[in-house]
């Protein structure tokens, strides 16, 4: 039965297309998928966006997907993973993209999920949450018919490669935010907001690392997967995804190390600033102690006091007090206490 072009049954179905010999054959109605899959050399690529349970159950019946995989695809909020079922592989990937920051010079990251059902002659992609459309991915795959002949495995690679490439701008944005933060630490006054921003940036890096790290092992497994779902010709492409993930993971670790150094520098500068303030307070306290001591002595009720009846006694005491205070001030200035 030839695939037919028709209106899709639901808005959740972004595309349902059959491919043969590396070229697009046409759109496929969901009810006709099982018949199209019987054609030799043909595979189907369906793209879904936040489908409901009836639609997923319909897709499950057409492709014979496992119940547990369908439940995961329906509920979402899964960790990145690769699971093998009877006739298919189930892959969960976390998508990430830059959002609109509420505060200038800060990076806002929006996360979503993409689930991939990969079989010998079909691939189903399910998007949840914030995720960029895969229309460009489909166009890219269709522009290389020689590679598209490899079947669903090559489609899975293009999807994974697209998702992983979206991590690079996020790491670059986090690095730029770190640079702004370093400039603020070393050039502006200290504030509690700076410490808060350091911890928030560190939390963002940890969140991104939890997204990237599982994909390293996943892509390595796919590059060594000896199964009909991943033909030998497609395995080197997953090694390319593996290399990209390693680069991103190393970049994240580098930013984390620099962020830890920035935090230590920030705390050290705060400590130095506090010590300087303490020294200034101690110096002024020593200077003020001199007139306080003199006033305390002459404020006592004694009849016999040094130079009490002398006409130049008061000016002399005041001059001596001011002289001592000035001497202390000069000494403290030379020692950089003031």
Q: How much is the pLDDT for 282?
A: 82
Based on the fold, state whether residues 292 and 250 are members of the same structural domain. no
Based on the fold, state whether residues 288 and 242 are members of the same structural domain. no
Q: The domain that contains 51 carries what CATH number?
A: 3.30.460.20
Residue labelled with tokens 């000069």: 330
Domain end: 217, 248, 269, which one? 269
Domain of residue 302, residue span: 273-334
Q: How much is the pLDDT for 4?
A: 40
CA angle 201, 202, 203 (to 5 degrees): 90
190: tokens are 């200290």
Based on the fold, state whether residues 199 and 300 are members of the same structural domain. no
Domain end: 234, 250, 269, which one? 269
CA distance 232 to 225: 9
Q: Is residue 303 part of a domain?
A: yes
Q: Is residue 310 part of a domain?
A: yes
Q: The domain that contains 307 carries what CATH number?
A: 1.20.58.340
Based on the fold, state whether residues 160 and 296 are members of the same structural domain. no
Based on the fold, state whether residues 319 and 175 are members of the same structural domain. no
Q: Is residue 6 part of a domain?
A: no
Instruction: Compute and round to an integer the Cα radius of gyration of the chain.
Output: 35
Q: Would you give per-residue pLDDT tens digits along the chain (338 residues)? A: 444 433 344 578 888 889 988 888 888 888 888 888 888 888 999 989 888 888 988 888 888 888 888 888 888 788 889 998 888 899 999 998 887 766 666 778 888 899 999 988 899 999 988 767 788 888 888 888 888 888 899 999 999 999 999 999 999 988 888 888 888 777 766 667 777 888 888 888 999 999 999 999 999 998 888 777 788 888 899 999 999 999 999 999 998 888 888 877 777 777 777 777 787 888 888 888 888 888 887 777 666 666 667 777 778 778 888 888 888 888 878 887 77
If one counts every other C-beta atom within 10 angstroms of the C-beta of residue 105, the result is 13
Based on the fold, state whether residues 307 and 258 are members of the same structural domain. no
Q: Is residue 80 part of a domain?
A: yes
Based on the fold, state whether residues 210 and 315 are members of the same structural domain. no
Domain total of the chain: 2
Q: Is residue 327 part of a domain?
A: yes
């Amino acid at each position: 039965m030839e695939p037919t072009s028709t209106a899709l049954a639901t808005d959740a179905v972004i595309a349902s297309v059959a491919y043969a010999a590396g070229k697009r054959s046409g759109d496929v109605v969901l009810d006709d998928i099982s018949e199209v899959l019987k054609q030799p050399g043909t595979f189907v690529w369906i793209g879904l966006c936040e489908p409901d349970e009836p639609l997923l159950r319909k897709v499950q019946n057409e492709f014979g997907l496992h119940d547990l995989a369908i439940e995961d695809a329906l509920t979402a909020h899964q960790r990145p993973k690769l699971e093998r079922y009877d006739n298919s592989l189930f892959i969960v990937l976390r998508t990430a993209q830059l959002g609109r920051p509420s505060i200038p010079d800060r990076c806002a990251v929006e996360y979503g999920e993409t689930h991939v059902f990969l079989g010998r002659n079909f691939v189903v992609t399910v998007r949840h949450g914030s995720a960029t459309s895969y229309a460009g991915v489909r166009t890219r795959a269709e522009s290389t018919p020689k590679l598209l002949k490899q079947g669903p495995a090559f489609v899975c690679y293009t999807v994974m490669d697209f998702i992983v490439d979206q991590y690079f701008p996020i790491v670059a944005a986090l690095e730029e935010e770190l640079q702004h933060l370093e400039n603020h630490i070393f050039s502006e006054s200290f504030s509690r907001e700076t410490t808060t921003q350091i911890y928030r940036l560190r939390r963002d890096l940890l969140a991104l690392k939890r997204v990237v790290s599982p994909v390293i092992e996943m892509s390595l497994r796919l590059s060594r997967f000896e199964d009909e779902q991943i033909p030998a010709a497609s395995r080197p492409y997953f090694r390319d995804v593996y290399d990209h993930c390693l680069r991103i993971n190393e970049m994240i670790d580098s930013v984390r190390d620099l962020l830890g150094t920035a935090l230590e520098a920030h705390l050290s500068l705060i400590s130095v600033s506090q010590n300087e303030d303490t020294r200034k307070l101690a110096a002024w306290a020593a200077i003020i102690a001199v007139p306080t001591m003199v006033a305390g002595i002459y404020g006592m009720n004694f009849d016999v006091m040094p130079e009490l009846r002398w006409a130049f006694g008061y000016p002399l005491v005041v001059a001596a007090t001011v002289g001592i205070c000035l001497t202390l001030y000069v000494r403290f200035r030379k020692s950089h206490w003031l």
